[in-house]
Amino acid sequence: MYINDLPDVLLHSSCLLFADDAKIFKNVESANDCHLLQQDIMGLTQWCRTWRITLNVDKCFFVDFTFLKLRNINWIYTINDEIVQKVTSIKDLGVTFTYNLNFTPHINNIVKKSFQMFGFMKRVLKPINDYTAFISMYHTLIRSRLEYCSFVWSPLGQTNIDKIERVQRKFLKFISFKCNFNNSNLSYFETCQHFNFSTLQSRRDMLDLRMFNKILSNKVDCPDLVNRIEYRVPSRRTRRRDLFVSNHRLRVSKNSPVSRIATLANGINLDVFSPPVEFRRMCNLHFTF
């Protein structure tokens, strides 16, 4: 609440505030846009001087989000005459964003940390033979990491989907050994059914739909997301029953959260306009084996 007046000093840019974290962003198409962004940075530094706040320039970065391999615009931004470091990826609120919005580095990172946590869990709980304790720990320490903010980075490519799923495959193999269950002749999906697990991909789909339902029910205060949802109104009677528009030319647009979930909502027989509590119950019934 102490920085509520910060957006007022930004005349040409927008900002996002969360706790002690602030991000300034602007669409840059020319050198003049870079100059305007630099003016807002100078306004920010002046605001900091007024309120006696010191910025650590070593922890300030800027990312040029673009799909162009070559950019003719190269600009050096400064804070108090110190150059702001340019990076190609940055971790924001636990999610790694790259300059081209490719979330493979983030997926690699959470998969690596999940395997490390799995090894730690096996060492700590080695004397325990109750496999339900391992399942509780898995849900708390591993699966929660693999699903954190999946609404933002959920992959479409099969390679990354399999990469994430491999963590649960290994865990189910370990649990089968712990409870003397022979799953050598069972597929991964059959093993999931035996232990009443859902695949991580289906759980991400469920979480996406629940978030979509909250947006449509006005439970999420984000007008920008609501404005991005396009409804399909056919000009004549047709057998096509898609409710939302999800056609996009670029792959990155196709995998954007709203477009991805609109495609998912079109292909599932659930009423996304139901009250959130009722919709959550329907999702649990639909996505649970």
For residue 96, tell me if it sits in a domain: no
Verify that 250 and 208 share a domain, yes or no.
yes
Least confident of 24-28, 133-137, 222-226: 222-226
For residue 128, tell me if it sits in a domain: yes
Hey, CA dihedral for 208, 214, 217, 220, is it positive or negative? Answer: negative
For residue 66, tell me if it sits in a domain: yes
Last residue of a domain, one of 182, 197, 212: 197
Residue 11: pLDDT over 80: yes
Find the domain containing 210 and state its range.
Answer: 203-287
Verify that 81 and 120 share a domain, yes or no.
no
Verify that 225 and 275 share a domain, yes or no.
yes
Verify that 191 and 109 share a domain, yes or no.
yes
pTM score of the predicted model: 0.86
Last residue of a domain, one of 87, 114, 144: 87
Lookup result for tokens 């404005």: 227
Verify that 47 and 71 share a domain, yes or no.
yes
Least confident of 23-32, 44-53, 95-104, 224-233: 224-233
For residue 93, tell me if it sits in a domain: no
Number of domains in the chain: 3
Q: Provide the pLDDT confidence category of residue 1 given band limits of 50, 70 and 90.
A: low
User: Residues 6 or more apart from 265 whose CB is under 8 A from it?
Assistant: 209, 212, 243, 244, 272
Last residue of a domain, one of 197, 215, 239: 197
For residue 183, tell me if it sits in a domain: yes
For residue 220, tell me if it sits in a domain: yes
For residue 188, tell me if it sits in a domain: yes
Verify that 263 and 218 share a domain, yes or no.
yes
Q: Rounded to the nearest 5°, which phi and psi values hold at 82?
A: -105, 135
For residue 99, tell me if it sits in a domain: no
- DSSP per position, the chain: -TTTTGGGG-SS-EEEEETTEEEEE----SHHHHHHHHHHHHHHHHHHHHTT----GGG-EE----S-SS-S-----EETTEEPEE-SEEEETTEEEETT---HHHHHHHHHHHHHHHHHHHHHTTT---HHHHHHHIIIIIIHHHHTTHHHH---SHHHHHHHHHHHHHHHHHHHHHTT---TTS-HHHHHHHTTPPPHHHHHHHHHHHHHHHHHTT-S--HHHHHH--B---SS--S----B----SSHHHHTSHHHHHHHHHHTS-S-TTS-HHHHHHHHHHHH--
Mean pLDDT over 177-184 rounds to 84
Summarize pLDDT for 62-104 with one digit per residue, the tens. 999 887 765 677 889 999 889 999 999 999 989 999 998 889 9
Verify that 172 and 247 share a domain, yes or no.
no
